[in-house]
Amino acid sequence: MTNCTSDIDPASHHSPDLAIDPGVYGIGDLCREFEVTPRTLRFYEDKGLLAPARDGQRRLYSARDRARIRLILQGRRFGFALDEMRELLDLYDIGDRGRMQAHRIIDHAEQRLAEMEAQRAELDTAIRELRTLIAERRIFAAQPTAS
Amino acid sequence: MTNCTSDIDPASHHSPDLAIDPGVYGIGDLCREFEVTPRTLRFYEDKGLLAPARDGQRRLYSARDRARIRLILQGRRFGFALDEMRELLDLYDIGDRGRMQAHRIIDHAEQRLAEMEAQRAELDTAIRELRTLIAERRIFAAQPTAS
DNA sequence: CGTTACGTTGACGTCAACGTAAGCGTTTGG
DNA sequence: CCAAACGCTTACGTTGACGTCAACGTAACG
């Protein structure tokens, strides 16, 4: 009863030959590559963004999983929520096998862009106001008591 | 055993004579004025930002409390954390009775301003990147598999 | 054989600023 | 006289993206 469901060897720390890329990675490998903790990848899995294969209990990430991680982290930089990313990845998969869903993805990205620009506008306003208050020494200035 | 510890009448909704300002307000009055919920003011009290007088159980806010609320909400628009605001209000009080602490307050505000500007820079970068990705249709484009 | 490094599954903790609800008292107007 | 409106306290829920245990298995090195 050897627990050998597979002999493939994820590019673990003990076989640091980075030249050969077997297309399968251990969790630690990807954590190092993307500078995230295992908790993060497991969390993404919980959230349905990843579904790596298993060797017994251990997770085996494919090149596709790796690509998805890359996309997730890219989306994160743009402020996409994980739920949103899950949707987008689903669309992406559909686009892979079937019709191009790039259209919808672009739409989504443009929405997000609009949100970011709105946020920027608010932030800009706040910055200007704060600058003014500082310049005029009206920071924390008592308002005239309306009596 | 009348619960009459005081006869002062906070300018409640039933005495809407806004012309007379007794310098004391009920929670509802200030909630309407500043468009916050009672929960918010009680929360600020919990956090040590406010300490209104009491008439039995009921809160009686003074003109000073009202001014503090104004400052808190102003700070909120600039992204000051409540803990930070508490410190600033303390400095403000010290400045009232003693030396001018305006200096330190300005410093704090300038720090916050710097943070906001840094945040805006990041946001700007992200916006530009996202714009580029959208324009070049490289959103969710698969990276070349390094094999 | 022991140590070290890595992996696993729960499950609860964190942070901020409140929201929400339960259950109660008081005051006021119709 | 009763209900509405207001107030109070206590305490748990919310949101997001993980962190941080605990308790254990497994594999390789020396």
Q: What is the pLDDT of residues B32-83, one digit of tens each?
A: 999 999 999 999 999 999 999 999 999 999 999 999 999 999 999 999 999 9
Closest CA relative to residue B61, chosen from B82, B77, B42: B42
Does nucleic acid strand C have an atom less than 7 angstroms from the CB of A58? Answer: yes
Determine how β-strand A53-55 pairs with β-strand B24-25.
unpaired
Task: Mention every residue, 6+ apart, whose C-beta is less than 8 A from residue A40.
Answer: A31
Highest mean pLDDT among A17-21, A22-26, A99-103, B67-71: B67-71
Computed over every residue of chain B, the mean pLDDT equals 84
What is the pLDDT at residue A92?
83
Please report the pLDDT score of residue A141 as a whole number: 77
User: What pLDDT was estimated at residue B88?
Assistant: 93
Cross-chain Cβ contact A21/B146 below 8 Å = yes
Closest alpha carbon to B77 in B23, B108, B116, B111: B116
pLDDT band, very low/low/confident/very high, at B1 (cuts 50, 70, 90): very low
Contacts of A120 in chain B (CB under 8 A): 120, 123-124, 127
> How many angstroms separate the first and last alpha carbons of chain B?
87
Are the CB atoms for A52 and A60 separated by under 8 Å?
yes
Q: Tell if A55 CB is < 7 Å from nucleic strand C.
A: no
Longest CA pairwise span in chain A (Å):
88
* Calpha distance B91→B93 (Å, rounded): 5
pLDDT: which is higher, A36 or A141:
A36
In angstroms, the separation between the Cα of residue A53 and the nearest Cα of chain B is 19
> CA-to-CA distance for B64 and B36, rounded, in angstroms?
18
Q: Is pLDDT of B9 > 90? A: no
**Interval A81-88 mean pLDDT:** 94
Tokens of B27: 């929670």
Give pLDDT, residue A1.
Answer: 40
Least confident of A58-67, B17-26, B116-125: B17-26
Q: Which residue of A has its CA nearest to B95?
A: A140
A·B CB contacts under 8 A? 92
Burial A43-59 (b: 16+ CB within 10 A, else e): ebbeeebbebeebeeeb
